[in-house]
Amino acid sequence: MDCLGERPNAITFLNLIVACGSSGDLKRGRILHDRIVSCGFDHQLANLGNAIVHMYGRSGSIAEARRAFLAIPSRLKSVASFNSMLRAYVLAGLQCEAIDLFDQMPNDPAPNAVSFTTAIGACSALGWIEKGAAIHARLAGTGLETDVGLATALVNMYGKRGLFDMATKVFESMTAKTVVTWSALIAAYAQHGHAEEAFDLYRRMMREGSKPNEVTFLSVLSACSTMRWLERGREIHSEIVNLGLDRSLVLMNTVLTMYIKCRSLDEAGEFFAAMASRDLKSWMFIIAANAQQGRPERALALFRSLLEERDPTLQPDEVIFASVLNACSTKKWSDDGRAIHRIIPPRLEATAVIGTALVDFYSNCGDLANAKAAFARIVAKDVAAWNAIIGACIQHRLYEEALEIFYRMNVEGCSLPNHRTFVALLEACTESPSLGAAGRKLYERIVASGYELGLVLGTGIINMFAKLGSLDRARDVFARMPIKDLVSWTAIIAAHTRSGARVEARELYWMMALQGLEPDEVTYISILSSCAHAGMVDEAWSYFVSMSEDFGVEPREEHYVCVIDLLGRAGRLRDAEELVMKTSKLLGAVGWTSVLGACRTHGDLHRANQVVDEAVKLEPENSGAYLLLAHTSYNNH
């Protein structure tokens, strides 16, 4: 046009500016803006000024958008002008500025549905529910309440904050609902853990003839995953296929995770194999699922298949490498894990995610030296990496070294310890008698840091003080725990038993039951072990009888062995022998071996020979070993 000598008019420039805004061509947009100003069109056409503001806002140049907005003459500045600037602010993430501008809008021209919708969206993004409700109140009498887009924004705002009474009130007042409206409320229910309500609303949506879209299904699948509703998940999957939405990779990955979270790994595997297309997330989900659910062989097979893919976008990332290393974290699969380590790129090996996975892998395979080397290679060590190396030292019974690493963590100051750090260190102080003073200082640090004495942390502290013989401190910690579960009650009962406070232990035992927490098999193992430590034979027998008579917990092998061992150590060999006779089918030769050891300790050769006869009947192939043990008992006395 310029070449032909034709002079463009305002409409021409308007169309060109709109095109630049749509394509994000900021460079050409600026050139056109300069031409518009030089031609004097910027003060002639209201829509042209609005389009310029929109173009700059869409292109991310908020300063130029603001200048263009301010340059629009008052006589040309319309509600559309304000809306263009409002959208520019929101696109730039400047929600506060958008709300301020909305508050400055004149009553003539008054804000329209777009203005209110944009302002409500800004309040929703900021979580400013009171401001959003105030803007909502301004709608009264405007006639805008029936606008579908505006009502949907209100449903979304209230729903995101969990204000379902308000969200539902707006939703039910709508004469027409779009799929976006339905999806907004369904998503809100799903995100706040109201899975049943989300699913009920989805079914109502279907009954009322509204066709769900991808966003709807993402929310409903999330609800199914949270509640492990496998049958409902299958129903949703079938509906997705019927509506032809199974071409969406995002949706298909969500279906895959639904099967995984519903613990239907075989179905997840079949679905993965049938997927028309897969991205790296698809591979990550299925490999991680097999690793986490105890299928290392399948995880490795999938990983090898991924390596054979020729698509350059399907190169394993740090999450996939970490998952497959986790699958190999036993001595049986250690060679495979080492082979995987050899193909990890150095840049990934130095990341906290991969480095931490390598620390765990080598530690679980018994190779602490390589675990330490992997930790040393991590460039930016996060708290998970520090926790991993501390845990590795504890796993290998290097308790003092674990504590030294903790001190080093504090000195380097890169990461602050979290509750997992303290739980691990409490275990170290509990297991090592020489770390009693360190354990007390650790507790002081926990209190000073303001950590809440949650179930795991509080129970760990109780166990430590019990082992150190500080029963008063253990009681204090238990009293300060805001929530107590069966494990924490068991810990404090065992602490009293271990310290010989049998009366208080018995009171706590029944108090726990009154709280509605009935002891289980693990509770009794802990209590019986504590009785054994304190040498409280009668007390142990009382608990042993109570477990079946009072709480219907059938004794297992571990309970019988603990009581038999305690009776034997106390010299009550006849009682121990009688108990073994009653349980020989369950215990086999294990019970007789325990009694034989007690006979050896107390020099009862006659009973030892009788015990050998019984043990040989059960395990004739080990007769030589039993005779040797009895003979050793005789020689020692």
307 half-sphere exposure, CB direction, 13 A CA radius:
11
Q: Could you tell me the two tokens for 81? A: 């002008």
Max Cα distance, the chain (Å): 125
Does 31 have pLDDT greater than 90? no
Q: Is the predicted pLDDT of residue 622 greater than 70, yes or no? A: no
pLDDT tens digit sequence for 182-194: 999 999 999 999 9
Least confident of 40-44, 157-161, 317-321, 497-501: 40-44
For the cut 70, the answer to whether the pLDDT of residue 633 exceeds it is no
What tokens appear for 458 in the block? 């509080």
Q: Where are the domains of the chain?
A: 1-92, 290-363, 556-637
Question: In sequence order, which ranges of 413-556 are alpha helices (DSSP H)?
Answer: 419-431, 436-448, 455-468, 471-480, 486-498, 502-514, 521-534, 537-549
- Judge whether residue 625 has pLDDT over 50: no
Q: Which of 114-118, 175-179, 198-202, 410-414 has the lowest mean pLDDT?
A: 410-414
8 A C-beta contact, residue 511 and residue 476: no
In the predicted structure, residue 635 carries a pLDDT above the cut 60: no
Side-chain-facing half-sphere of 243: CA atoms under 13 Å? 17
Round to whole Å and give the CA distance between 118 and 39: 33
pLDDT of residue 16: 67
- Extract the tokens encoding 556: 């297992």
The predicted pLDDT at position 5 comes to 47
Range in 137-146, 446-455, 472-481, 627-636 with the lowest mean pLDDT: 627-636
Q: Which residue type does 140 have?
A: A
Please choose, from the candidates 625, 569, 559, 620, the residue with its C-alpha nearest in 3D space to the C-alpha of residue 599: 569
The overall average pLDDT reported for the chain is 88
Nearest to 419 by CA among 393, 390, 444, 456: 456
With a CB cutoff of 8 Å and minimum separation 6, the contacts of 230 are: 224, 259, 262, 263, 264
Q: What percent of the chain has pLDDT over 70?
A: 89
Amino acid at site 542: S
- pLDDT, residue 433, reads 83
CA–CA dist 195, 227 (Å, integer): 7
Q: What is the pLDDT of residues 371-401, one digit of tens each?
A: 999 999 999 999 999 999 999 999 999 999 9
- pLDDT of 86 over the 90 cut: yes
* Number of other CB atoms surrounding residue 266 within 10 Å: 8
Q: HSE, CB side, 13 Å, CA atoms: give it for residue 482.
A: 4
Distance, in Å, from the CA atom of 68 to the CA atom of 84, rounded to the nearest integer, reads 11
DSSP per position, 352-370: HHHHHHHHHHHHHTT-HHH
pLDDT tens digit sequence for 277-313: 999 999 999 999 999 999 999 999 999 999 999 899 9
Q: First and final CA of the chain: distance in angstroms?
A: 118
Q: CA 463 to CA 57: how far, in whole Å?
A: 61
Q: Residue 395: its pLDDT value, please?
A: 96
Structure tokens at 287: 């490999």
Of 35-39, 95-99, 209-213, 571-575, give the lowest mean pLDDT range: 35-39
Of the candidates 349, 332, 350, the one whose C-alpha atom is nearest the C-alpha of residue 340 is 349
* DSSP designation for 619: -
Element (H, E) at 234: helix 230-242
Q: What is the pLDDT of residues 39-77, one digit of tens each?
A: 655 565 566 667 777 777 788 878 887 888 888 887 778
What CA–CA distance (Å, rounded) separates 253 from 285?
A: 8
Dump pLDDT digits (tens) for 414-467.
678 999 999 999 999 999 988 999 999 999 999 998 889 999 999 999 999 999
Decide which of 613 and 576 is more confident: 576
Count Cβ atoms below 10 Å from residue 57 Cβ, excluding itself.
Answer: 25
- C-alpha 380/C-alpha 356 separation (Å) is 11
What pLDDT does residue 1 have?
45
pLDDT digits (tens, 9 = 90+) for 603-615: 887 888 787 777 6
pLDDT above 50 for 256: yes
DSSP per-residue string spanning 43-99: GT-HHHHHHHHHHHHHTT-HHHHHHHHHHS-TTT--HHHHHHHHHHHHHTT-HHHHH
Per the structure block, which two tokens stand in for 109? 């021209």
Residue 316's nearest CA partner among 333, 304, 331, 329 is: 304
